[in-house]
Amino acid sequence: MLRPERMSRVSVTGSKPVMDDVIEVVHDLGLLHITEYDGAWEGFEPGDPMEGADAASGKLVTVRALKSTLDVTGEEVSPTNRVVTDEALEEELEAVRADVNELDDRRDELRDELRDVEERIDLMEPFVALGIDLDLLSGYDSLAVRVGEGEADTVERALAESDVEAYETYTAGDIVAVFAYADDETLADVLVDATFTAIEIPDGEGDPEAYLEELRHRRQQLDSKLSTVEDEMQDLKLEVGGFLLAAEEELTIDVQKREAPLAFATTANAFIAEGWIPTARYDEFERAVTDAVGDHVEIDELERADYDEDGHPVDREEVHGGEERGPEDDAGGVGQPTATNGRGEVADASADGDDERARTDGGTVTMGGDEPPVIQNNPAISKPFEMLVGVINRPKYTEFDPTLILLLTFPAMFGFMIGDVAYGLLYVLIGWALYTKVDSSGWQALGGLSIWSGVFTIFFGLLYGEFFGLHFITSILWEGVVGLHGAPMHKGLQPVDVNFARAWLLVSFAFGLLHLTVGYALGFLKELRHGAWAALTEKGSWVLMMGGVWVFVFSTAAVGKKPAFMFSVFGAEGAINPRTGEAIAAEAVAYPLGFTGFPEIVGLAGLGLTALGLVLLLGGEGIIGLLESLNVLVNVLSYARIPAVLLAKAGMAFVVNLLFFGAYTHHGEFHFLTGDGPGYVLSEYGAEALMFPGLIHMGIVGILFGIVVFVLGHVLVLALGVTSAGLQAVRLEYVEFFSKFYDGGGKAFTPFGHERTYTADD
């Protein structure tokens, strides 16, 4: 699960007459990720597409164009599993194309005319405001007419200062019409100096308002005709949508098969296809191809891949009796390909049985140095977290896949920071809706993440005893049923629980140490490919430094420089706090685990480990390692954001409930006014105990306003939980954890084949 599925490079060598049959069976299997032949072998050329490839591609383009025109999607068409014959593709496709094009042409014509009418309507509105008949605005021999938007006084001023002998202006709001005894060019030059933007005078006669009404009536007619055409297209879409989806699928498969030889190495009589398949399914692949074409092909498992970070093979297992080879065997450049069968013999690649493939001195020469494609080998429950990994990039074949670790850590961090049963239920419901109702793999993955995060939020919410920040779960479950004096965990928001907040700070550091150590350990295993010394200096040095520094921090060495709570929150009542030299009070303990710090000698030993790690780091990275060494402290401190978000979200929920219910303090505890009113608090504890009387105790207006505050407030907390707890957890995963071992950049496994949804194999 931490490694992608193991892949094998295979070679299929055969004579040209059986190539079509091999393509058929390999396509149906959907197991082979084909390696493109790059033309590097002497005497071998990339193959030519099968006959009919261009025609099939042309039909596929036509089908996709028709789909786009009708806006056909799989959501509106149920899978049919129909057989699409060549006759149907010829006859039915042509009929559909003619019908779609006819309707599309009509729709385009109507849209063009409608657009023109709407532009003329917009153009007419200023002339309606003027109220001048349209035939009076043009057709003069000695008068120039201009209509536009502008300021009448600037137009008048420009005309008065010009050489125009006579003119008249008409205005309606900011619309100005100018009649001048001059030619068009002269009037245009005069109006340049005015605040005036000319409007095109429309063709037409008579009252502009009547003309505008005609245009509006024409627009209604066109809208009706366009609606009719679109209804016809919708009917046609429902009628032929299934056929188009089936035709697209059938043609896609046909084109894939016909163009497959382009990736093969071929001679006049033979072909070679190479690619990657999951190692566990090699026997299935070999058996299926052999059953289809018999002895006319030779199938070889060339290698079971294990690569270093530079893409060079470091391990070639002996397969099917072939000679075991090391990385030096494939380090050379171009050579003649050979493929050995299970007896170590050269495979027959010719039509008549003659050997056309020369041996090379170094063993088998493969088509390329491509890395194996990646199949992430994770259980179904962790699939949503593959999306989180994919945001960075798909893991390389040689890398550890962190998906399972994300499953174990991300929702736990999220749930711990939010920790509320009500919020958790809402996250689960939102996630379930996304997962089941949205037809998108990305949104479904987000739905899965939301469900997992919600489940952990419910779990921690039960431990905190909170429901929308209220503690009645504590009263009912932990105090009433279990018999405890309170919930097992407290967020530390109340003064009486402050030591829980301090405890969570230390717990977050401990979790950070574990999280980062796992990351460094994976990085160490990754670096072992380059040798034990490289792994020790590159990753092991950091583990030694980080562990040593934090053992020192949690020890009694230099105890006077450390906060006293470090030695009390997990101590025991009556034990001596080494920082203060006094007995630890009960209220200073969060969980009585008896931990009052590691002994001083252990802390000094931690410093020794740190020094050893630093020496190793300097040996591997040089002086730059000294500058980076502080990261062993900073990286762990970064996990303090976990209790920070925990308190921030708890505080926001508390404020919302405070405004709605009201609250008072008593002996360092906060109590909401869910049963008693403000008067009770004033009489029992005094005014100084009342924090806020609560909107529900302020009459009907207060109650109504309080409901709005309560709903919107908790919706805001719910949303900010994603942007705070979610993003902070993601940051800790990506920045702190991934950086210790993960690069990404793997190639997805895309096998030659196509899963049928709308067609059946004939």
CB 596 within 8 A of CB 571: yes
What single DSSP character describes residue 279? G
DSSP, collapsed to helix, strand or coil, labels residue 758 as: coil
Q: How many other C-beta atoms lie within 10 A of the C-beta of residue 84?
A: 23
Beta strands across the sheet bearing 663-666:
669-672, 663-666, 690-692
Tokens representing 417?
Answer: 């920071």
> Rounded distance, CA 346 to CA 359, Å?
8
What's the CA gap between 16 and 33, in Å, rounded? 21
**CATH 3.30.70.240 for the 1-41+265-373 domain, yes or no:** yes
Which pLDDT value is given to residue 762?
Answer: 63
> Which residues are CB-neighbours of 36 under 8 A, at least 6 positions away?
263, 367, 368
State how far the alpha carbon of 633 is from the alpha carbons of 19, 172, 629, 733, in Å: 62, 76, 8, 17
What are the E-state strand segments in 114-257?
144-150, 167-172, 175-180, 196-199
Distances, alpha carbon 457 to alpha carbons 368, 416, 449, 507, in Å:
49, 7, 12, 18
What distance, in Å, lies between the first and last C-alpha atoms of the chain?
38
- The pLDDT value recorded for residue 553 is 95
Handedness of CA 408, 409, 411, 413 (dihedral sign): positive
* Three-state secondary-structure class, residue 354: coil
CB 516 within 8 A of CB 558: no
CB 118 within 8 A of CB 219: yes
Residue 749 CA neighbour count, 13 Å, CB half? 20
Gyration radius from the chain CA atoms: 39
The rounded distance, in Å, linking the Cα atoms of 711 and 73 is 38
10-residue stretch averages of pLDDT, the chain, 762 residues long: 86 92 93 90 90 92 92 73 78 90 93 90 82 84 87 88 85 87 87 86 80 88 93 90 88 93 92 93 93 90 73 52 38 39 37 36 56 87 90 86 94 96 96 89 91 97 95 91 91 93 96 96 88 90 95 94 94 93 92 94 95 90 82 94 95 95 91 88 89 92 94 94 92 94 89 87 68
Q: Measure the CA angle with vertex 63, ends 62 and 66; round to 5°.
A: 85
Tell me, yes or no, if the pTM score tops 0.85.
no
For 54, the token pair is 């261009």
Q: What does residue 598 show for φ and ψ, rounded to 5 degrees?
A: -70, 150
Report d(CA 156, CA 147) in Å as an integer: 14
pLDDT, position 636: 96
3-state secondary structure of 562: coil
> Alpha-carbon distance 128 to 130, whole Å?
5
Per-residue pLDDT, 655:
96
Q: Shortest CA distance to 356 belongs to which of 88, 44, 664, 599?
A: 44
Phi, psi values for residue 94, rounded to 5°: -65, -40
Using alpha carbons, list the distances in angstroms from residue 17 to 20, 296, 300, 530: 7, 9, 20, 47
Distance CA 627, CA 624 (A): 5
Residue 170, phi then psi, degrees to nearest 5 = -130, 135
Alpha carbons 725 and 417: distance in angstroms, whole number: 6
Are the C-beta atoms of 305 and 369 separated by less than 8 Å? no
**Topology of domain 113-214, CATH:** Alpha-Beta Plaits (3.30.70)
* Token pair recorded at residue 459: 């779990």
Say if strands 167-172 and 175-180 run parallel, antiparallel, or are unpaired: antiparallel
SS3 352: coil
Per domain, the residue ranges of the chain are 1-41+265-373, 113-214, 645-723+726-737
Residue type, position 19, single letter: M
Q: How many CB atoms lie within 10 A of CB 488?
A: 13
| Cα 510 to Cα 451: distance, rounded to the nearest angstrom | 27
- Is residue 508 a contact partner of residue 639, using CB atoms and an 8 Å limit? yes
CA atoms within 13 A on the CB side of 221: 8
**Could you tell me where the beta strands, DSSP code E, fall in 35-141?**
45-46
One-letter identity of residue 189: D
Q: CA 211 to CA 206: how far, in whole Å?
A: 7
Q: Are 504 and 643 in contact (CB under 8 A)?
A: yes
Q: How far apart are CA 352 and CA 350, in angstroms?
A: 5
Return d(Cα 510, Cα 245) in angstroms, integer. 56
Which pLDDT does position 365 carry in this prediction?
58
* % of the chain beyond a pLDDT of 90: 54
Q: What is the pLDDT of residue 341?
A: 37
To 5 degrees, how large is the angle CA 676–CA 698–CA 422? Answer: 65
Query: What's the CA gap between 378 and 74, in Å, rounded?
Result: 28
Let me know if 108 is exposed, middle or buried by CB neighbors in 10 A (0-12, 13-18, 19+).
Answer: exposed
